[in-house]
Structure 1
Amino acid sequence: MTPRVPLIFGAAAFGAPNALAARIHDLSDCQEVVHYFLSQGHQVFDTSRYYGNGTSEEYLAKLDLQGAAVDTKSFPEAPGDHSPEKLRATVKKSVEVLFPHKIRVFFLHAPDRSVSYEETLRGVNDLYKEGLFEEFGLSNFYSWEVAEIVAIAKAHEWIQPTVYQGLYNALERNVESELFPCLRKYGIRFHASSPLARGLLAGTNIYAPTPGSRWDSSSSTMAEGLISKYKTFQAAFQELGLSLARHNIPLAEVALRWIQHHSFLNPGDAVIIGASSLQQLQANLKDSEGGPLSEEVLSILDEAWITFKGHAPSYFVQWPHIIGHT
């Protein structure tokens, strides 16, 4: 069964040892994952200059993607990174590193509020006119910033964003109330990242993480921030897993079937799935092909969301070095 909502492979796990979020380091293992993903009829890979400290893009360039599309992003690690000059350098670097693969969608990975959006968008438009990418996307922006960016681009007849990548899963639905109406108004597609809530909807115990995973503080620079963000909800995720086990259905399968059949997504959107091994990818693809959930299971999920809702992380970026820009 083909998934109702198309799948994109998130290649953040590809990269050099000890690099940010990288978990598959051997190119032959990466190629095995890529080959299987393509063999199942899927055709898009997602990466970022930020992933693996740039090595995710480098790994993808060395793999046979059989003509599949590649989306990438520019994350503003310091104020001014989305100035036209620095943006040009970043995009040029991505084009160079990803060769022979071409960039389909180029995303601003998060807001750089130290630079006016007009200035940033002018730079994006210049790069687009040079043929360096096919579409422009946003990620981790407030809904009102999306509207502002569309208005600026329209006023100047510049390329407008056509895709938004954001956090969305059965227990993190904050995009539904405000962001989705905005995106639908402007005809912007949505790419749902983290459908398994960074592994928490797959049964991850953040206090006993798999060695080398994003939750392992001995090897991941992301671990401290993630644990701080989600530690309050570890018990709730585990209780949800136990409740669903009584219906003989694994938590991860429930999460992936929910986002396919019961979320706000439509077939024009996409779900980004990752994997740290071929076996994990096979399981995620199989679960994504399952049918709709029963009313009983949906009720359990909805009740869990109501409980979690008031404390769920926001869809927009909240890192201090981004928020603090003026």
Structure 2
Amino acid sequence: MKYRRLGRSGLKVSEISLGSWLTYGGSVDAGRSEAVIDKAYELGINFFDTANVYYRGAAEEIMGKALRKYKRDSYVLATKCFFPMGDGPNDRGLSRKHIMEQCEASLKRMNMEYFDLYQCHRYDQEAPLDETLRALDDLVRQGKVLYTGVSEWSAVQISEAVHTAKERNWDQIVSNQPQYNMLQRKIEADVVPTSERLGVGQIVFSPLAQGVLTGKYKPGAPLPEGSRATDNNSNMFMQSVLQDEVLRKVERLQEIAARKEIAVTQLALAWILRLPNVSSCIVGASSPQQIEDNAKASGVTFSAEELLEIEAILA
């Protein structure tokens, strides 16, 4: 496993990381979840990502229980807040009240003393940015959080956050967690160049486009039984990419992967890691074998000719 710095920080995270969205606490039972986390740790994956809203805290509980058997300084633990955790008017968003209370609740659920990375799960149009950043800075100063980041923020929002924190001598965000893969590339235009300039690293989620880039879905064929596309909780995120035109592109990518003697999943993950601004790819895994296969993408490189061939397929 290879490691990269998280943005401008000195913190090093594994190129492949393990997340818990749509899996732990839901479609994958606790025992199997722990087996996957154990295998990830064994493979040298040191970055584990979750969020309070994933199955209303259940994912945090499962991940916390699994990680507590290991030395706390041997892994990097990240969680997030923003989405509703109750029905009250203050049970959501990025107000100081919600941030401070949810950080405390997440620490309690996971039985941890601190988080390595605490992230704003989305941008809050209703909370003043300086209120949000001041709350994050206070969590850092209290020792409950070591680094702060955001998720799915625009280039303008990231820039404003960095400059506001710098002006007030507050802790600056070091990461952004966007959706990015071969089929969804919008961050390349503005978010990546802005982040590179400001020292913000990308922690990419959905790098396999919800499983479309695994090659399991075939054009004109019925959906495989038990696949994520047949799960009502997750197939809503897949409809835009489950098209025959897209699936034919995946078949052509499989040909390149075969020539390199790697799986198409490893090709897709390594392609994301071609960007120096990407600190880590967050994968979801429902079995130890899955995370073992994904981890092999770390260190895979491409020739200039291969990158041009991939670009021609994706165009």
TM-score by length of 2: 0.82
The 8 Å contact of residues 95 and 132 in structure 2, kept in 1 or not, is answered as: yes
What SS does structure 2 have at the residue aligned with 1:161? coil
Counterpart in 1 of 2:55? 52
Counterpart in 1 of 2:312? 303
Aligned pair partner of 1:179 in 174, 191, 197: 191
Give the alignment of 1:68-217 within 5 angstroms: 68-77=75-84, 81-100=93-112, 102-205=114-217, 208=223, 210-211=225-226, 213=228, 215-217=229-231
What SS does structure 1 have at the residue aligned with 2:202? strand
Aligned pair partner of 1:251 in 264, 276, 289: 264
The 8 Å contact of residues 70 and 101 in structure 1, kept in 2 or not, is answered as: no
The 8 Å contact of residues 35 and 287 in structure 2, kept in 1 or not, is answered as: no
RMSD between aligned alpha carbons?
2.6
Distance 2:299 2:148 in 1: 32
The 8 Å contact of residues 45 and 69 in structure 1, kept in 2 or not, is answered as: yes
Give the alignment of 1:259-278 within 5 angstroms: 259-260=272-273, 263-265=274-276, 269-278=279-288
Counterpart in 2 of 1:9? 18
Matching of residue 25 in structure 1 with residue 29 in structure 2: yes
The 8 Å contact of residues 50 and 59 in structure 2, kept in 1 or not, is answered as: yes
* Structure 2 gaps, min length 5: 5-13
**Per-residue displacement from partner, 1:174-216 (whole Å, max 9, x unpaired)?**
2122111111111112212222111111125396255373x33
Structure 1 residue identity aligned to 2:50: T
Counterpart in 1 of 2:9? none
* Residues 128 and 40 (structure 1), Cα distance of their counterparts in 2 relative to 1, 3 Å cut: same
Distance 2:183 2:97 in 1: 39
Q: CA deviation at 1:113?
A: 0.7
**Per-residue displacement from partner, 1:77-111 (whole Å, max 9, x unpaired)?**
37852111112111111111111363100000101
Structure 2 residue identity aligned to 1:31: E
Q: How many residues align?
A: 290
* Residues 184 and 296 (structure 1), Cα distance of their counterparts in 2 relative to 1, 3 Å cut: closer
Distance 1:112 1:210 in 2: 38
* Residues 271 and 217 (structure 1), Cα distance of their counterparts in 2 relative to 1, 3 Å cut: closer
**Per-residue displacement from partner, 1:120-144 (whole Å, max 9, x unpaired)?**
2222222222211100101111100
What SS does structure 1 have at the residue aligned with 2:187? coil
**Per-residue displacement from partner, 1:279-305 (whole Å, max 9, x unpaired)?**
21111112x146324556433421233
* Residues 169 and 200 (structure 1), Cα distance of their counterparts in 2 relative to 1, 3 Å cut: same
Aligned pair partner of 1:43 in 43, 46, 49: 46
The 8 Å contact of residues 117 and 146 in structure 2, kept in 1 or not, is answered as: yes
Distance 2:299 2:144 in 1: 37
Percentage of identical aligned residues: 24
Distance 2:34 2:241 in 1: 32
TM-score by length of 1: 0.80
The 8 Å contact of residues 13 and 276 in structure 1, kept in 2 or not, is answered as: no
Distance 2:36 2:269 in 1: 19
Distance 1:12 1:264 in 2: 24
* Residues 34 and 236 (structure 1), Cα distance of their counterparts in 2 relative to 1, 3 Å cut: same
Q: CA deviation at 1:37?
A: 1.2
The 8 Å contact of residues 23 and 284 in structure 2, kept in 1 or not, is answered as: no
